[in-house]
Amino acid sequence: MTDTGLSLREVTAASVRAICALKVADSQSGYVAANAVSIAQAYFQPTAAFKAAYADEAPVGFIMWRPDSRDPDRVMILWRFMIDRDHQSKGYGKAALNLWLQQRREDGIQLVTTSVVLGPASPLNFYRAIGFDLTGEIRPNGESVLQLSL
């Protein structure tokens, strides 16, 4: 747990509805899939993993990742990440991501990649503040790739 009271926990049968009820702001909805869609996609992607972010006992966010199939022991793809609209701008996003990065570092991961949609509500500068840099690569879906060495 971090000093903001943030922890990453398994999604369970008891919590899955609450996690699926977490929502981003309307202006952000084009930047990340709904959590229910992410969990459904993970069902078909056996290497994917996900956790819920809790602030003390309150569910506030969701994070999902998978190894890069080209270099699975070394490179992790941060696939989805969101903090509920009612809990944003309280430091939970930064705390959750830094905790997740620390756990990946402990797993021996050396590089994390992610990709973002650019635009007015883009999380690009959030990721840059954490230490991610743009690689210059643009994915076929138009998203810009970011990476962070651990």
Residues that bind ligand COA (CB under 6 A): 24, 28, 31-32, 80-83, 88-94, 116, 123, 125-126, 129
Spatial separation of the C-alpha atoms in residues 108 and 106, rounded to whole Å: 5
Q: CB-wise, 73 or 102, nearer to ligand COA? A: 102
If the CB atoms of residues 97 and 109 are measured against ligand COA, the closer one turns out to be 97
DSSP track, 46-104: TT-EEEEEEETTEEEEEEEEEE-TTSTTTEEEEEEEEE-GGGTTSSHHHHHHHHHHHHH
Q: Which is nearer to ligand COA, 21 or 73 (by Cβ)?
A: 21
Give min distance, CB of 54 to ligand COA, in A: 13
CB of 16 to ligand COA, least distance (A): 19
Residue closest to ligand COA (Cβ): 93
Measured CA to CA, the distance from residue 96 to residue 63 in angstroms comes to 9
